[in-house]
Protein backbone atom coordinates (compact mmCIF):
# COMPACT_ATOMS: atom_id res chain seq x y z
CA UNK A 1 0.00 0.00 0.00
CA UNK A 2 1.25 3.47 -0.87
CA UNK A 3 1.53 6.20 1.73
CA UNK A 4 -1.39 8.59 2.09
CA UNK A 5 -1.00 12.04 0.54
CA UNK A 6 -1.65 14.96 2.92
CA UNK A 7 -4.95 15.80 1.21
CA UNK A 8 -6.27 12.45 2.49
CA UNK A 9 -6.76 14.11 5.89
CA UNK A 10 -9.32 16.91 5.83
CA UNK A 11 -10.21 19.31 8.64
CA UNK A 12 -13.56 21.08 8.45
CA UNK A 13 -15.12 23.66 10.77
CA UNK A 14 -18.84 24.23 11.25
CA UNK A 15 -19.44 27.78 10.03
CA UNK A 16 -22.79 27.97 11.86
CA UNK A 17 -20.86 27.53 15.12
CA UNK A 18 -23.02 24.79 16.59
CA UNK A 19 -21.46 23.75 19.88
CA UNK A 20 -22.58 20.14 20.53
CA UNK A 21 -21.92 16.93 18.59
CA UNK A 22 -25.67 16.29 18.83
CA UNK A 23 -26.10 19.22 16.39
CA UNK A 24 -24.11 17.55 13.59
CA UNK A 25 -27.12 17.48 11.26
CA UNK A 26 -27.36 21.29 11.46
CA UNK A 27 -23.67 21.89 10.73
CA UNK A 28 -22.38 23.57 7.59
CA UNK A 29 -18.79 22.46 7.22
CA UNK A 30 -16.08 24.36 5.36
CA UNK A 31 -12.66 22.83 4.78
CA UNK A 32 -9.59 24.56 6.21
CA UNK A 33 -6.34 24.78 4.29
CA UNK A 34 -6.63 26.85 1.11
CA UNK A 35 -3.43 28.82 1.71
CA UNK A 36 -1.80 26.52 4.27
CA UNK A 37 1.26 24.50 3.27
CA UNK A 38 1.55 22.55 6.52
CA UNK A 39 -0.96 21.92 9.30
CA UNK A 40 -0.93 19.23 11.97
CA UNK A 41 -2.92 18.38 15.05
CA UNK A 42 -0.47 18.56 17.92
CA UNK A 43 -1.53 15.91 20.42
CA UNK A 44 0.35 17.48 23.34
CA UNK A 45 0.51 14.25 25.32
CA UNK A 46 0.65 14.70 29.08
CA UNK A 47 2.75 12.03 30.78
CA UNK A 48 5.04 12.05 33.75
CA UNK A 49 7.61 9.49 34.78
CA UNK A 50 8.61 8.73 38.33
CA UNK A 51 11.41 6.42 39.39
CA UNK A 52 10.68 4.64 42.68
CA UNK A 53 13.14 3.41 45.31
CA UNK A 54 13.23 -0.02 43.66
CA UNK A 55 14.70 1.51 40.52
CA UNK A 56 11.49 1.00 38.57
CA UNK A 57 10.13 3.69 36.32
CA UNK A 58 6.38 4.27 36.33
CA UNK A 59 4.60 6.41 33.79
CA UNK A 60 1.42 8.29 34.61
CA UNK A 61 -0.62 8.98 31.48
CA UNK A 62 -2.87 12.04 31.80
CA UNK A 63 -4.07 11.89 28.18
CA UNK A 64 -3.85 14.64 25.59
CA UNK A 65 -4.66 18.31 25.11
CA UNK A 66 -4.80 18.43 21.27
CA UNK A 67 -4.56 21.67 19.34
CA UNK A 68 -4.09 22.75 15.74
CA UNK A 69 -2.79 26.01 14.29
CA UNK A 70 -4.30 27.22 11.00
CA UNK A 71 -1.82 29.74 9.64
CA UNK A 72 -2.27 31.57 7.36
CA UNK A 73 -6.01 32.18 7.08
CA UNK A 74 -6.46 35.09 4.71
CA UNK A 75 -9.60 37.19 5.18
CA UNK A 76 -11.90 36.26 2.31
CA UNK A 77 -15.51 37.50 2.45
CA UNK A 78 -16.49 34.58 0.19
CA UNK A 79 -15.49 32.10 2.92
CA UNK A 80 -18.30 31.21 5.33
CA UNK A 81 -15.79 30.95 8.19
CA UNK A 82 -14.45 34.48 7.70
CA UNK A 83 -17.22 36.56 9.35
CA UNK A 84 -17.09 34.53 12.54
CA UNK A 85 -13.28 34.66 12.76
CA UNK A 86 -13.45 38.42 12.14
CA UNK A 87 -16.04 38.84 14.91
CA UNK A 88 -14.10 36.69 17.39
CA UNK A 89 -10.82 38.54 16.73
CA UNK A 90 -12.06 42.12 16.49
CA UNK A 91 -14.78 41.71 19.11
CA UNK A 92 -12.43 39.88 21.48
CA UNK A 93 -15.12 37.22 21.93
CA UNK A 94 -14.56 34.43 24.41
CA UNK A 95 -16.19 31.34 25.85
CA UNK A 96 -19.18 29.81 24.09
CA UNK A 97 -19.00 32.47 21.33
CA UNK A 98 -15.79 30.76 20.14
CA UNK A 99 -17.06 27.17 20.21
CA UNK A 100 -17.97 25.12 17.16
CA UNK A 101 -17.62 21.65 15.68
CA UNK A 102 -14.62 20.27 13.82
CA UNK A 103 -14.97 17.34 11.44
CA UNK A 104 -11.85 15.35 10.62
CA UNK A 105 -12.09 12.99 7.66
CA UNK A 106 -9.49 10.41 6.67
CA UNK A 107 -9.76 9.16 3.08
CA UNK A 108 -7.79 5.91 3.08
CA UNK A 109 -9.43 4.50 -0.06
CA UNK A 110 -10.56 6.96 -2.72
CA UNK A 111 -12.88 4.31 -4.22
CA UNK A 112 -14.76 3.75 -0.96
CA UNK A 113 -18.33 5.04 -0.57
CA UNK A 114 -17.72 6.15 3.03
CA UNK A 115 -14.70 7.46 4.88
CA UNK A 116 -13.68 7.40 8.54
CA UNK A 117 -14.55 10.61 10.37
CA UNK A 118 -14.42 12.15 13.84
CA UNK A 119 -16.67 14.96 15.01
CA UNK A 120 -15.21 17.07 17.83
CA UNK A 121 -16.43 19.96 19.96
CA UNK A 122 -13.73 22.62 19.70
CA UNK A 123 -12.79 26.17 20.64
CA UNK A 124 -11.56 28.46 17.83
CA UNK A 125 -9.32 31.35 18.89
CA UNK A 126 -7.61 33.74 16.47
CA UNK A 127 -3.98 34.28 17.51
CA UNK A 128 -3.52 37.63 15.72
CA UNK A 129 -4.77 39.63 12.77
CA UNK A 130 -3.15 41.86 10.18
CA UNK A 131 -0.20 40.60 8.22
CA UNK A 132 1.86 41.64 5.25
CA UNK A 133 1.32 42.41 1.61
CA UNK A 134 -0.18 38.96 0.91
CA UNK A 135 -3.46 40.06 2.53
CA UNK A 136 -5.22 40.40 5.86
CA UNK A 137 -4.32 37.30 7.86
CA UNK A 138 -6.33 35.95 10.80
CA UNK A 139 -4.42 32.83 11.89
CA UNK A 140 -6.24 30.79 14.51
CA UNK A 141 -5.85 27.94 16.95
CA UNK A 142 -8.33 25.09 17.33
CA UNK A 143 -8.37 23.21 20.62
CA UNK A 144 -10.64 20.37 21.70
CA UNK A 145 -13.32 21.44 24.13
CA UNK A 146 -15.78 18.65 24.80
CA UNK A 147 -17.12 15.49 23.25
CA UNK A 148 -15.80 13.50 20.31
CA UNK A 149 -17.83 11.03 18.24
CA UNK A 150 -16.48 8.61 15.64
CA UNK A 151 -18.39 7.87 12.47
CA UNK A 152 -18.32 8.17 8.72
CA UNK A 153 -18.82 10.67 5.93
CA UNK A 154 -20.07 9.69 2.50
CA UNK A 155 -17.75 10.20 -0.44
CA UNK A 156 -20.66 11.71 -2.37
CA UNK A 157 -21.24 14.43 0.24
CA UNK A 158 -17.53 15.26 0.31
CA UNK A 159 -17.43 15.62 -3.48
CA UNK A 160 -20.38 18.01 -3.21
CA UNK A 161 -18.37 20.09 -0.73
CA UNK A 162 -20.85 19.51 2.10
CA UNK A 163 -19.73 16.50 4.17
CA UNK A 164 -22.52 14.70 6.01
CA UNK A 165 -21.44 13.00 9.24
CA UNK A 166 -23.08 9.83 10.55
CA UNK A 167 -22.16 8.61 14.03
CA UNK A 168 -21.09 4.98 14.41
CA UNK A 169 -17.94 2.95 13.96
CA UNK A 170 -15.31 4.73 11.87
CA UNK A 171 -14.95 3.09 8.46
Please give the pLDDT value at position 2: 84
- Give the mean pLDDT of 127-149: 96
Residue 90 covered by a domain: yes
Residue 41 covered by a domain: yes
Residue 123 covered by a domain: yes
Percentage of residues in the chain with pLDDT exceeding 70? 99
Please give the pLDDT value at position 74: 97
* Cβ–Cβ under 8 Å, residues 98 and 85: no
- Give the mean pLDDT of 32-43: 95
Please give the pLDDT value at position 105: 97
Range of the domain at 12: 6-167
Q: Give CA torsion, residues 44, 3, 30, 113, to 10 deg.
A: -120
Number of domains in the chain: 1
Secondary element (H or E) of residue 20: none
Q: Provide the pLDDT confidence category of residue 24 given band limits of 50, 70 and 90.
A: very high
Residue 66 covered by a domain: yes
Residue 1 covered by a domain: no
Residue 95 covered by a domain: yes
Is the pLDDT at 94 greater than 90? The verdict is yes
Instruction: State whether the Cα torsion 161-167-126-42 is positive or negative.
Output: negative
Please give the pLDDT value at position 170: 81
Residue 161 covered by a domain: yes
Is the pLDDT at 1 greater than 70? The verdict is no
> Residues 105-117: pLDDT tens digits?
999 999 999 999 9
Amino acid sequence: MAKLNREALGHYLDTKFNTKVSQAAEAQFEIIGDDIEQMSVELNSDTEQVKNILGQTRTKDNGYTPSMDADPFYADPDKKLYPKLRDIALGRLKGDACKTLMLEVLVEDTAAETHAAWLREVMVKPTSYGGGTEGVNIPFNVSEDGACVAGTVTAESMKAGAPVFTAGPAA
